[in-house]
Amino acid sequence: MDLSQLIVELSAAWAIAKKDLKMYYVRPGTVMFGIMFPLFMFLSFAVGRNIPIAEALPGLTSMVAMFSSSSIGPFSIPLERRLKTFDRLLAAPISFYSILVGKVLAGALYGIATGLFPILAGAIFFNALPAQFETLVFSLTLSAICFASMGVMFASYPTKYPGNVTIAMNFVRLPMIFVSGVFTPLEQTPAFLLPLAMASPLTYANDLMRTSFKGKGYFNPVIDWISLLVFTCLFLTAGVKLHSKFTELEESPRARLKINTSQRRQP
């Protein structure tokens, strides 16, 4: 791919991201599952436990980043399938990777924006300032990209209804909350749950938030960053393969139907 084609692909990805942000960031489902749901979920476990703000903010921020970043793709892609606009994107003179990057970028930007709300609220109202601001910025960005990739991977399922994807994704997101050290620090997690915690990207995002606010986490920040990058690559690779597989499964019956129809028309 030459430089001019790369610029075209990146421009297309940015155009898709801007379109998704304008159309879907105020959708009731996106607001509910991206902001309100993690907020009330967190309050239901935090109220009455006298948790210090510095202890509560990392978990709330990582939860909001996960739910909001992974909400744009599962809403936009199925809805565009129903409106036939996703087929137009696939027919456009750009690669599928540009579409994928655009969807991930939209979710990541939305996750970063919403993830800043608990951080700003803690700084303004409770004077809970992060101990490592640079780590916070980089970690929030990387976490949002990872969770946006997860949402796009789930959206590869060929449905035209966002609720189908959201329900399936909640079967993964909700258990992740309880094994990733959000409510119970990893130091206090039972040993039999630690393997599950290691398999959750939220564990590393939450650990980075704790490092950013408290100056120290359970893992080294480099391990958290590498783990999130690995999860991001896995989600993107799985998303591409699943989309290709489901597209083949959808097109094969149509191809057989066309062949049978043409054979019937022959004298």
Which residue, among 49, 47, 58, 50, has the nearest Cα to 185 in the 3D structure?
A: 58
The one-letter code for the residue type at 25 is Y
pLDDT value at 256 more than 60: no
Q: What is the DSSP string of the chain?
A: --HHHHHHHHHHHHHHHHHHHHHHTT-HHHHIIIIIHHHHHHHHHHTTTT--HHHHHHHHHHHHHHHHHTTHHHHHHHHHHHHTHHHHHHHSSS-HHHHHHHHHHHHHHHHHHHHHHHHHHHHHHS----S-HHHHHHHHHHHHHHHHHHHHHHTTS--S-HHHHHHHHHHHHHHHHHHTTSSS-GGGS-GGGHHHHHT-HHHHHHHHHHHHHHS--SS-HHHHHHHHHHHHHHHHHHHHHHHHHHHHHHHHHHHHHHHHHHHHH--
| Structural domains in the chain (count) | 1
Mean pLDDT of the chain: 83
The one-letter code for the residue type at 115 is G
In whole angstroms, give the CA distance from residue 34 to residue 63. Answer: 9
pLDDT value at 258 more than 50: no
Are 144 and 65 a contacting pair, CB within 8 Å? yes
Tokens encoding 161: 């209804």
pLDDT value at 249 more than 90: no
In whole angstroms, give the CA distance from residue 132 to residue 115. Answer: 16
Tokens encoding 206: 């939450």
164-223: pLDDT as tens digits: 888 889 899 888 988 898 888 888 888 888 899 999 999 999 999 999 988 888 999 999
**What average pLDDT does the segment 34-51 reach?**
68
**Residue 257 confidence (pLDDT):** 44
Domain hosting residue 80, numbered range: 3-265
Integer-rounded Cα Rg, in Å, for the chain is: 21
Which residue, among 27, 61, 208, 36, has the nearest Cα to 134 in the 3D structure?
A: 208
**Residue 47 confidence (pLDDT):** 65
106-136: pLDDT as tens digits: 999 988 988 888 888 888 887 888 888 888 9
**Residue 45 confidence (pLDDT):** 63
**What average pLDDT does the segment 71-85 reach?**
86
**What average pLDDT does the segment 147-176 reach?**
89
pLDDT above 70: percentage of residues in the chain? 85
**Residue 259 confidence (pLDDT):** 42
* Spatial CB neighbours of 4, under 8 Å, sequence gap ≥ 6: none
- pTM attached to this predicted model: 0.87
